[in-house]
Chains A and B, each alone.
Chain A
Amino acid sequence: MADIKKIATRESYGNALKELAAEGKDLIVLDADLAAATKTEIFKKDYPERFVDCGIAEANMMGVAAGLASCGKTVFASSFAMFAAGRAFEIVRNSIGYPRLPVKIGATHAGISVGEDGATHQCCEDIALMRSIPGMTIINPADDVEAKAAVKAAADHDGPVYLRFGRLAVPVFNDPETYTFEIGKGQTIRDGKDITIVATGLMVNEAIEAGKVLEAEGIDARIINIHTIKPLDKELILKAAAETGKILTVEEHSVVGGLGSAVCDCVAEKCPCIVKKIGVEDQFGISGPALDLLKLFGLSSENIVDTVKKMLK
């Protein structure tokens, strides 16, 4: 446990962009004056001629990305989730989504774990916003290995992709030697029959930790990592609903419109079962250290364990 490496997925984003370019991929990376924070500076340092700073103007950046993509460029447009999905929503919908232009949106600083900057910068609505756009692929990777794989898969994907990254350094639990990534395919981390915990992003590691505690207490929880929220791996979710009868969703996002809602939409139609959601309740965040905020908002392995026990009572 002591030597678990921790890397923020925004760092993985910057590194993956640089690796892609080194592998010969002809990328153009856009940012809106946040290269130091989104980590696109890692790419910029080695490929300055392919990095375009758009200044503090996210709406225009998304339109520029659309224009570049229409000319056959592989474009990554980067900003904080709040501004990429929030401020620029309508440009993403109309200039990228409607014409299905293959722009990759690299949105960092998602969720409550932004920490001290507080509510204005803690975007817990981005998945909900992006889910509403027809044809948008949404990927919320759980660790460094998955994040880098997601960036590379997105680069080759023929359609718009929203990539969601975090500011906080999180444990790297996937093995880069054996890990495989496919857009739209969930990952069963632990099989189980009593209940299914469906987690995404940095909550996957919390779910894994919760699974260990539950196992010690004789509860056999299935744990699924849903890195691609749209298109959702419905087959995997419905199988879990049928086989375990109860689902707990866990996400660092509002309980309105995120992974939990996507899972509910899926099971309600095809295989109704009890679903409980752990996420940011219908409220804004507050300033504070990221790890403390995660605990305060119930985004912890402890809360997962408690909730599972209540659901199985």
Chain B
Amino acid sequence: MYSVAELKEKARVARCDVLKALHTVGSGHPGGCLSAIDIFVTLYFHVMKVDPKNPKDPARDRMVLSKGHTAPALYAALAHKGFFSVDELKSLRHIGAMLQGHPDMKHTPGIDMSTGSLGQGISAACGMALAGQLDKADYRVYTILGDGEIEEGQVWEAAMFAAHYKLDNLCAILDNNGLQIDGPITEVMSSYPIVDKFIAFGWHVIELDDAHDFDKLEAAFAEARTVKGKPSIIIQKSLKGKGVSYMENQVGWHGKAPNAAEYETAMAELNAALAELEA
């Protein structure tokens, strides 16, 4: 079990790794990676029952990254957990690399489902949860959705399915950073009121006002585990670009990599954060 301070440090290092990888390849989605990284760290270092030495263990907890474009953040968490070398992050998105632009379950240890096309991951997570229910297995299934992603109709087909079949071993996390590619979700295509919608669809909703507070994240996952007879969703307010001042809450950082100067600034900020952690 890791302390909150240790989780914070893991998340800080993972943020550095992600930015380094995106800067090296010159493309990717830094905003969503930085907003979701604390969830990945919480899941893989605190919540989930997984063994990096046995990534296909049938009894393991599973995680489907429905918002697949934040794969680099997941890769950083998996690498630090020991599923593969941190060095692999350098070849992210390169020809012949194991780490594809979006998660690829066939080639990357620790990836439970290939995702990337929005709206599809949650359905696969439902299938995994159903398999667990049919087998009376005690593993849990986690899936991370974006707030723009839930504009996809398939998400609501899956939401209906999960409640209908009482998949209480399923826990979704909605990364509510408020932004999508074309602008704020309230302007592009509002998915609000999100909480009311999931309640209406029969889910247990856990609202989290700060997705970057590890104590609150741990409490939310603990609550989800106690829910019986229905699926849970943690709807968490997060900050797109969290941890790098000029990326925070900026639509423009959805899908572009930092240049050399921007990268240096980001690293300086994240290194300063280490000093704060140690103080």
Contacts and interface: CB of A to CB of B under 8 A. Distances in A.
A62 interface: yes
A174 to B, nearest CB: 35
A54 B127 CA distance: 11
A94 B123 contact: no
Contact of A60 (B64, B115, B128, B154): B154
Given A57-B157, A57-B160, A67 B116 contact: no
Contact of A90 (B64, B117, B127): B117
Given A94-B114, A95-B114, A59 B161 contact: no
Interface centre among B129, B132, B154 (most CB of A within 10 A): B154
B165 A94 contact: no
Contacts of B112: 70
A94 B124 CA distance: 11
Most chain B CB within 10 A, of A62, A67, A69, A72, is at: A67
A65 interface: yes
A54 B158 CA distance: 9
Given A63-B124, A67-B130, A71-B58, A91 B113 contact: no
A266 interface: no
Interface string A69-99: 1111100000000000000001100110011
Nearest to A91: B120
B124 A64 contact: yes
B125 interface: yes
A60 B119 CA distance: 9
B125 to A, nearest CB: 6
Contacts of A20: none
- Decide if the interface of chain B is mainly helix, strand, loop or mixed: helix
Main secondary structure of the interface of A (DSSP, over half): helix
A290 interface: no
Contacts of B157: 55, 57, 59-60
Contacts of A66: 113, 123-124, 127
A59 B125 CA distance: 14
Nearest to B141: A67
Contacts of B129: 67
- Chain A, interface size category, equals 20 to 34
Contact of A91 (B58, B104, B128, B154): B154
A105 interface: no
A72 B127 CA distance: 11
Contacts of A91: 117, 120, 123, 154
Interface string B192-203: 000000000000
Interface string B149-174: 00001100110110011000000000
Contacts of A7: none
Contact of A63 (B131, B132, B158): B158
Contacts of B127: 63-71
B160 A55 contact: yes
Nearest to A73: B131
Contacts of A98: 104, 114
Contacts of B104: 98-99
Contacts, number: 106
Interface string B203-215: 0000000000000
B126 interface: yes
Contacts of A67: 64, 113, 123-131
A59 B130 contact: no
A60 B158 contact: yes
Q: Which residue, A50, A54, A60, A73, has most C-beta atoms of chain B within 10 A?
A: A60
Contact of A64 (B106, B114, B126): B126
Contacts of B105: 70, 99
Interface string B42-70: 00000000000000001000001000000
A55 B113 contact: no
A52 B114 contact: no
B134 interface: yes
A90 B153 CA distance: 13
Contacts of B115: 94-95
Contact of A99 (B113, B135, B153, B161): B113
Nearest to A64: B127
Nearest to A53: B164
A55 B143 CA distance: 22
Nearest to A71: B131
Nearest to A93: B117
B161 A60 contact: yes
A220 to B, nearest CB: 48
Interface of A: 28, 50, 52, 54-55, 57, 59-73, 90-91, 94-95, 98-100
Given A63-B121, A63-B158, A95-B123, 19 more contacts: A52-B130, A57-B154, A57-B160, A59-B123, A60-B161, A66-B123, A66-B124, A67-B125, A67-B127, A70-B113, A70-B127, A71-B58, A71-B132, A73-B131, A91-B120, A95-B113, A99-B104, A99-B106, A99-B114
13 contacts: A52-B130, A55-B157, A59-B120, A60-B123, A63-B123, A65-B127, A67-B123, A67-B126, A70-B113, A70-B128, A94-B117, A98-B114, A99-B114
Across chains A and B, which 3 residue pairs bring their CB atoms closest together, nearest first? A67-B127, A63-B123, A60-B157
